[in-house]
Amino acid sequence: MIRLSHHSEMMDARAYFYKEMMHNRMKEILKRVALGLLGVCSLMMIALCAYMYGLIG
């Protein structure tokens, strides 16, 4: 009986660790996506400014 509950505790700890690992991985992926979008927006703004400057000049 005690062994079963201990085994259950181990499974809970493993499930919690896995869940935490997935959560951290998801945060990392979202951070990369956000940085990627920021980079794309920056490049678009630079291209737009260069285009407008080309038209003005």
Q: Indicate whether 41 pLDDT > 50.
A: yes
Determine the 3-state secondary structure of 1 from DSSP.
coil
The reply to whether the predicted model has a pTM over 0.85 is: no
How far is the C-alpha of 35 from the C-alpha of 32, rounded, in Å? Answer: 5
What is d(CA 47, CA 20) in angstroms, rounded to the nearest whole number? 41
pLDDT digits (tens, 9 = 90+) for 5-31: 455 566 788 889 999 999 999 999 999
Is the per-residue pLDDT at 36 higher than 90?
A: yes
Percentage of the chain beyond pLDDT 70 is: 77
